[in-house]
Structure 1
Amino acid sequence: MKIAVAKGDGIGPEIMDAVLSIFNANNVPLEYEIVEMGKWVFDKGFNNGMTPEAKQTIENLGLLYKGPMETPKGKGVKSINVTARKTWNTYANKRDFQTLHGVDTVFSKAGIPINITVVRENIEDTYGGIEHMLTHDVALSRRFITRPGSMQVIRYAFEMARQKNAKRITCGHKANIMKITDGLFLECFYEVAKEYPDLKADDIIVDDLCMKLVTRPDNFDVVVLTNLQGDIVSDLCAGLVGGLGFAPSANIGDHISIFEAVHGTAPDIAGKNIANPTALLLSGLAMLRHVGLTENAAIIENALLYTLENGVHTGDFGDKSTPAVNTTQFAEAIISNFGKQPQAGAKEIIANKPGTPTPMKLQSNAMMVSTEAEEETIVGVDLFIESDEQPAAIAEKCQRHAGVKFKLVNISNRGTQVWPTGSVYTNLVNQYNVRFESIEDYPLNQQDVIGLYVSMSGNFKICSFELLNMWGDKKAYSLAQGQ
């Protein structure tokens, strides 16, 4: 079985070489095709951080094992890590966090075991990176949460929880504030939960989740979240078990999957052969299990756990009264411990059942569209305008343009209503949202909206606009604060 390997930047090549030496010593039946990705590829003029040959190789093989990679700063280019995940639709980012004996934390010292799996949506949310300056003072980031994308990652989380023999799966969210976007994600969670009656499914507001994770992490089993919240919570969980140096990461897609270390490139220690390869090794073990090499994975993980229990450590962790080993020596210690069983957390050795990661050859992009349950109607429009005038003056101008189909119902600034009611204590910026709705809820069409846009543009710079849609009797837009 052949997989693509990108060694990465900074400490990437040395920790990847260490891990591959462990795999080779265990006769892991893999071949490695090295591909060109990372900052040095950006520097050669490839704006997505990978050569066309690397992209084609990964798509042919279906599996990428990668070291940490750096994105050049100040050059307007996108993160190579995010680009890779999104390009190949690796919609589920799975990170396992478990107590490792020999890696001391406040929880291990207190005898509180941790075994949490965070599943983070990996494609959408603010990680779309779709941003605009609406005025010289106001920046906008668009946050996309889709029903098909949410269903993909949530169904994966439930399937994975069942395979893990989990008892509980929790949805972290902020639907109390972002009622439409996070509300849609939460709605999908409970829709999928109906198919898994054997699992206890519940939800928690993400800030409350963070507080409970740092007080009683042993109460959680599997947690699924949207992209940005999942990114933050997964790093929080890494801190619970010793840091990002012990945090494996798998990016799972239907056709291509990526296994990587999520810590940084540590350029300050690059080339010194002192980096900790544990996170990359744990990610590699997840990869071995993903392709059915369960026996190799168990033998190597048991050797790793045994090595940690016996106090072998690199300079970033462990008992400072005992000498640290370098990267190569750490790998050699693991190899010497093949066949040994740790006192805690030993993995069952299950015979390999290797599959193949080779993806299906696709001829076109998959279009994910759910069935529209009710009839869609346009009932108004939000026009985002630039102005430094007071709300009453803006309202007076807007009402001149309303015509016979529209009525001005609300003006807000940074999401807070400032007309027809509001407070002079609300600070303003030079970008308003003026909301027009149809008179007597008469259905509108896009030509009506464009006519209003053209008319309003005589008085204002219109930065952007959004249709106010309804499906049946359900509003598909939020109200302003105080409306």
Structure 2
Amino acid sequence: MKTKIAVANGDGIGPEIMSAVLNIFEASNVQLEYEFVEMGKSYFDAGHSTGMTDKAKATIEELGLLFKGPMETPKGKGVKSINVTARKVWNTYANQRDFRSLNGVDTVFSKAGIPINITIVRENIEDTYGGIEHLLTYDVAVGRRIITRPGSAQVIRYAFEMARRKGYKKLACAHKANIMKLTDGMFLEVFQEIAKEYPDIESSDIIVDDLCMKLVSKPQMFEAIVLTNLQGDIVSDLCAGLVGGLGFAPSANIGDNISIFEAVHGTAPDIAGYGIANPTALLLSGISMLRFLGFSSKAAEIENALLYTLEQGIHTGDFGDKSIPSQTTKGFADAIIGNLGKSPAKSPVIASEDTEVKSRVSQLLKNKLTVTEGIKEEMVGVDIFVEAGNLQPNELAELAKKQLKYNDNFDLVMISNRGTQVWPTGSIFTELVNEYRVRFEKKAGKDITQRELLHIAADFSQDAKICSVEFLMKFGGKIGYTLAQGQ
């Protein structure tokens, strides 16, 4: 019995490379059945705000797996990326991208005899990709960066399990916790907690900018790296450059219920329709999908044929030995089909037996909700973000102190501008914009309520425009907010 999956051709070169990959699957007699779904730019243009029809959404949720070509999100129009939306809506929390040297794909490192085999696991749901942004004033834009403990645990545990499954000995957590102490700090803290459950894997952490330097100088240092969403997106493209570009970068988006396999490169509209696109990235993504589904022997057969084909110097126009004529998309796929059953001579032969075919989980009845219980919470103050026109910090402080006239439970403790303290101390050389953060904290021994904090903001609004309000909290005795630069 064939396993049924949803397939979206994609935009631009998508239909051409998808056809090539499915032809290879058919020639290898992979036991898959395809349900083609309506997704992509044309469906945005037709009025579907998510870039997919209701039927496509229902089909993907029923089958639990989507194999997709690259898709274009219309520029402007206020629409969200269909790629990001699909990953978030279906909670494909772990984005796994495998990067390795391929014989026949020359790079600086391959010429130097330095083999690369790195797996990036990127958190796929949270971070700045929530796309929650606001203009607080005409001159000040703010985006929320959301990092959660349950979301971090999901992707980090997946990374450790993946490392163990692949036989890796090392897993590094890349972060910027030296600056983003609460968001990246939480991600790193969860990593360190979960690492204790995997004593067979050497765990370490590295600041992301240091990671980037080491990746371009000594990439052989790393086996697997787990990162937050934005940092992972950037680092994974960097790693693609190490092995020849995005044309050789497979991508798997793994969730507990729905998973998406795709190429991460663009739609290349400049060459669409010419039949010259490189299908390798989508094919590698498809090979990962076959292993995920349990068709490991077919995945090995196709991967061996691909490696053999590359070793023979067969290539599309975007890579390879220019003294050898390049192949069309179909010609490249046909060469792989002709080499099915052959094994590479310069690369390790991929050997694998089929595992249990992954079945669709039962349909969900409600959204999953994860809450950490038993943590003592304490409200200790409020940050009020205000637009203060041309006021200097000391002038704004006088207005802020007025709010305490009838409430002696609080102190005005700090005013900052773009994160840097400007009152009660600061520097005349700090350049200002017209949005400030004004911090009130409760006095020792005082009990306060949320209503009181909102009253302060309401009263303050008589003297300044309120842009945003954030409560200051302690959780388990630890402060849940950061100090200003210079505080």
TM class by shorter chain equals: over 0.9
1:134 counterpart SS class: strand
Letter of the 2:447 counterpart: P
**Does the Cα contact within 8 Å between 1:3 and 1:32 map onto a contact in 2?**
yes
Measured against aligned partners, the alpha-carbon deviations of 1:206-242 in whole angstroms (never above 9, x if no partner) come to 0000000000001100100000000000000000000
CA–CA distance in 2 between the matches of 1:437 and 1:311? 68
Secondary structure, counterpart of 1:384 in structure 2 = strand
Per-residue deviation, 1:120: 0.2
Instruction: Give the structure 2 partner of residue 461 of structure 1.
Output: 465
Name the structure 1 match of 2:419.
415
Greater Cα shift, 454-463 or 223-232: 454-463
Partner of 1:16: 18
Instruction: For 1:467 and 1:10, locate their aligned partners in 2 and report how far apart those are by CA, in whole Å.
Output: 47
| Structure-1 residue corresponding to 2:335 | 333
1:425 correspondence with 2:429: yes
Contact 1:95 1:119 in 2 (8 A): yes
Deviation at 1:400, TM superposition (A): 1.0
The residue that corresponds to 2:365 in the other structure is 363
Aligned residue for 2:79?
77
Q: How far apart, CA to CA, are the structure 2 residues paired with 1:193 and 1:442?
A: 40
1:474 maps to 478
- Specify the alignment match of 2:287 in structure 1: 285
- TM normalised by structure 2 equals 0.98
Between 334-343 and 264-273, report the one with greater CA deviation. 334-343
Return closer, same or farther for 1:441/1:221 CA change in 2, 3 Å cut-off: farther
| Contact 1:124–1:227 (Cα < 8 Å) also in 2 | yes
Q: 1:293-312 residue pairs with structure 2 within 5 A? A: 293-312=295-314
Q: What does residue range 340-419 of structure 1 map to in structure 2 within 5 Å?
A: 340-373=342-375, 375-387=376-388, 388-402=390-404, 403-419=407-423
Secondary structure of residue in 2 paired with 1:297:
helix
What CA RMSD, in Å, does the superposition of the two structures yield over aligned residues? 0.9
Moved more, 448-457 or 67-76: 448-457
Counterpart amino acid of residue 106 in structure 2: D
For 1:133 and 1:307, the matched residues in 2 are separated by 53
Kept in 2, the 8 Å contact 1:379–1:441? The answer is: no
Q: Secondary structure at the match of 2:386?
A: strand
Counting aligned pairs with the same residue, the percent is: 66
- What does residue 147 of structure 2 align with? 145
Q: Are the aligned partners of 1:63 and 1:357 in contact in 2 as well (CA < 8 Å)?
A: no
Which of 130, 133, 138 pairs up with 1:131? 133
Distance, in Å, in 1 between the alignment partners of 2:187 and 2:212 is 19
Stretch of structure 1 that moved more, 76-85 or 451-460: 451-460
* Paired amino acid for 1:383: I
In structure 1, the residue corresponding to 2:168 is in which secondary structure? coil
Alpha-carbon distance, 1:357 to partner = 3.9
Q: Given the alignment of the two structures, is residue 439 of structure 1 paired with residue 439 of structure 2, yes or no?
A: no
CA distance in 1, matches of 2:356, 2:43: 33
- 1:62-115 residue CA offsets vs partner (Å, 9 max, x unmatched): 000000000000110000000000010000000000000000000000010100
Tell me how far apart the structure 1 counterparts of residues 378 and 180 of structure 2 sit (CA, whole Å): 22
SS at match of 1:214: helix
Structure 1 equivalent of residue 124 of structure 2: 122
Q: What is aligned with 1:193?
A: 195
Alpha-carbon contact 2:303-2:350 (below 8 Å) kept: no
What's the secondary structure of 1:340's corresponding residue?
coil
How much does 1:301 deviate? 0.2
Match of 2:176 among 167, 174, 177: 174
Unpaired runs of 5+ residues, structure 1, are none
Question: Could you say what secondary structure the match of 1:440 adopts?
Answer: coil
CA contact (8 A) 2:30 2:298 kept: yes
- How far, CA to CA, are the matches of 2:180 and 2:112 in structure 1? 37
- CA distance in 2 between partners of 1:56 and 1:96 (Å): 30
Counterpart of 2:31 in 1: which secondary structure? coil
Structure 2, unmatched stretches of 5+, are none
Q: Secondary structure at the match of 1:15?
A: helix
Shift of 1:441: 5.2
- Separation of aligned partners in 1, 2:196 and 2:217: 30
CA contact (8 A) 1:379 1:442 kept: no
Shift of 1:311: 0.4
- Bigger Cα displacement from structure 2, 339-348 vs 228-237: 339-348
- Give the 3 Å change call, closer, same or farther, for CA 234–155 of structure 1 in structure 2: same
Cα distance per residue 1:160-193 (max 9 Å; x no partner):
0000100100000000000000000000000000
Give the alignment's TM-score, normalised by structure 1.
Answer: 0.99
Pairwise CA distance, 1:344:
3.2
- SS class of match (1:305): helix
Distance apart, 1:200 and its partner CA: 0.3
Count of aligned positions: 482
For the 8 Å contact 2:94–2:122, the answer to whether it is kept is: yes
**1:453 positional shift:** 1.2
Pick aligned residue for 1:40 from 30, 39, 42? 42
- State how 1:22-61 maps to structure 2 within 5 Å: 22-61=24-63
Which of these residues, 162, 165, 168, is aligned with residue 163 of structure 1?
Answer: 165
